[in-house]
Chains A and B, each alone.
Chain A
Amino acid sequence: MDRPLTENIRPGEGPPGIAEYERAGGYRALRKVLGDADPQGLIRTVTDSHLRGRGGAGFPTGRKWSFVPRGEQAAHPVYLIINADEMEPGTFKDRLLLEENPHLLIEGIVIGGYALQADIAYIFLRQEYTLAGERCSRAVAEAYDRGYLGRNILGSGFSLELYLHSSAGRYICGEETALLNALEGRRAIPRAKPPFPPVTGLWGKPTIVNNVETICNVPQIAEHGADRFRALSRSVDGGTKLYGVSGRVKKPGLWELPMGASIREILEEHAGGMRDGFTLRAIIPGGASTEFLPADRLDVKMDFDSVKAAGSRLGTGTMIVLDDRTCPVGMILNLMRFFARESCGWCTPCREGLPWLARTLEAIENGEGRPEDMEILRRHAGLLAPGHTFCALAPGAVEPLQSGLTIFEEDFIRHIREKRCPWRK
């Protein structure tokens, strides 16, 4: 039981159908939870499990759930939204769960929904995840058929509707408040907080947004308890984690490992190390909006606190590898273009600052950089700090740049001095 998220997954065979999922012990946790009839206790268990959000920010899930108002007077409907918008470059972990084990997700949703006393749940799915969409739809229909969804689930008196919402593009939809606007049929502009979604979220009603991987952890916590979940981890955070590697490694891919596995273990044991002829220069540990860690930091443990201590963020836990034959300036330029394009256009620093950064990087990469560009890049990177912008997109966007300016300073300067990209033929 050391791969609770992926043990049922058999690549190439398609996801387990409901019968198969049940045979493997699926929906047992749900039955247990509905039998215990103690939603508050369930939230406490999740809190004790030290489950932290897998969407990137690492917020303790139990704590988040505890913010939803309770009691007779509490507003309804309460919404539970699954963030399946996964668009962070370098990230491909939720797709695996959505495509290969949708019933695990659904079971997590119903259990989480029960803990929150939610009435309606949505899976907010990015449009390009078409296969995931098909498989989830089928699984949802099966779950409705078996009475795991809908009115009076398994005769418990608890009801939950689950809808699949297929989005229409734009990375910013993954930001949880922008997601709410998208789901309400608006432009996906983030919302100011307060009001916080657990109190005033979708259509002004209490709303919890959780990542796919986060919710997939819930059934095992409900079934086996908090201690067991914490024990799965090698760090203070509970559970296992889906770690991924992309770039010039021998076996790019995704593995479920104890939380706190080291970068080295993931990179060398699981991804098979660098491809022949390529040398590791640095990694971006958790999706495009996390800082570079240089090649000498391979012993950092991939948990929230350790990566933070090392000067980056765990983020989504899917790392991108920079090799010696790829231009770091070009890589940062690619990232910056992405973020500039995906800015929602609401706040000034992000809407205007990111394109300027992208153009400056482009100039450097094209051999048109000027010495003062280094200062411009540094200044902006500092200005687009958390709190300066409306949401976390722009601060995330400058993280790789900011670290890159230090780690690859020499490379930048060479571009400017030689008026060309040394990696281009």
Chain B
Amino acid sequence: MLTQQEVTEINSELAHYEQKRGGCIEALKTVQRHRGWVSDESLADLADFLEMTTDELDSVATFYNLIFRKPVGRHVILVCDSVSCWAMGFGEVLGHLEERLGIKLGQTTADGRFTLLPNVCLGACDRAPALMIDGDLHGDLDEQKVDKILAGYE
């Protein structure tokens, strides 16, 4: 079941689109904002709400990499793996992250604290290498800086 809060937020977005389904990505993101990810159940509820079939909505949802159809940790780390960051030391940063968190790209820490995902260029090439945690951009990374940043997310 969608919460009243979710319904209100989705409805205010839907008003911006000529067709109800036009707002489906915003709707998926709304659910994800509240629940961290989009479960099968949420997807089905949302599909009903949007007058789409589950398959139609899932077809859209699975296309976009920032819609999570699997549970994620409390904090999602998006590490930029594109060319400028790669050239500026993405490899070391990633290696450090994986070691510190004990997980590989695509995984979630056992304590559910972090999910580590690769991401396309974050548009921070002048501050490469860069990563983003829960929407906060962090650039000019090195190992010490990564440690300090991680400490800020419980």
- Direct A–B touching in the complex (beta carbon < 8 Å)? yes
B1 contacts A by Cβ under 8 Å: no
A168 B67 Cβ-Cβ under 8 A = yes
Contact across chains for B82 and A246 when beta carbons are under 8 A apart: no
For A320, what are the chain B residues with a Cβ–Cβ distance below 8 Å?
83-84, 87, 125
Please report the total number of B residues contacting A with Cβ < 8 Å. 41
A137 beta carbon closer than 8 Å to chain B: no
**List of B residues within 8 angstroms of A167 by Cβ:** 25, 64, 66
Expressed in whole angstroms, the minimum distance between the Cβ of A256 and any Cβ of chain B is 14
The stretch from A15-23, A124-132, A374-382 touching chain B is A124-132
Establish whether residues A185 and B24, one from each chain, have CB atoms under 8 Å apart when the complex forms: yes
Cα of A79 to Cα of B17 in the assembled complex, Å: 11
Given A165-B26, A170-B63, A288-B82 contact (CB < 8 Å): yes
- Interchain nearest-CB distance for A319 vs B (Å): 10
Contact (Cβ within 8 A) A128 B87? no
Verify B126–A246 contact, CB threshold 8 A. yes
* The residue from A161, A166, A245, A334 contacting B86, defined by CB atoms under 8 A apart: A334
Q: Which residues of B contact A245 (CB under 8 A)?
A: 126
CB distance from A271 to the nearest CB of B (A): 9
Chain A contact-residue range equals 35 or more
Once bound together, how far apart are the Cα atoms of A413 and B26, in whole Å? Answer: 49
A183 touches B123 (CB 8 A): no
Tell whether, in the assembled complex, residue A127 and residue B66 are in contact, meaning their CB atoms are under 8 Å apart: yes
A184 touching B21 by the CB < 8 A rule? yes
For residues 293 through 311 of chain A, which have their beta carbon under 8 Å from a beta carbon of chain B? none
User: Are the C-beta atoms of A92 and B125 separated by less than 8 Å?
Assistant: yes
Is A92 touching B126 in the complex (CB atoms < 8 A)?
A: yes
Evaluate whether A131 and B28 lie within 8 angstroms (CB atoms) in the complex, with A203-B18, A254-B126 already known.
no
Q: Can you list 20 pairs linking A and B with CB atoms under 8 Å apart?
A: A89-B120, A90-B121, A95-B123, A95-B124, A128-B123, A130-B136, A168-B64, A169-B64, A169-B67, A185-B25, A248-B87, A252-B125, A252-B128, A284-B83, A320-B87, A320-B125, A322-B87, A330-B86, A334-B87, A342-B120
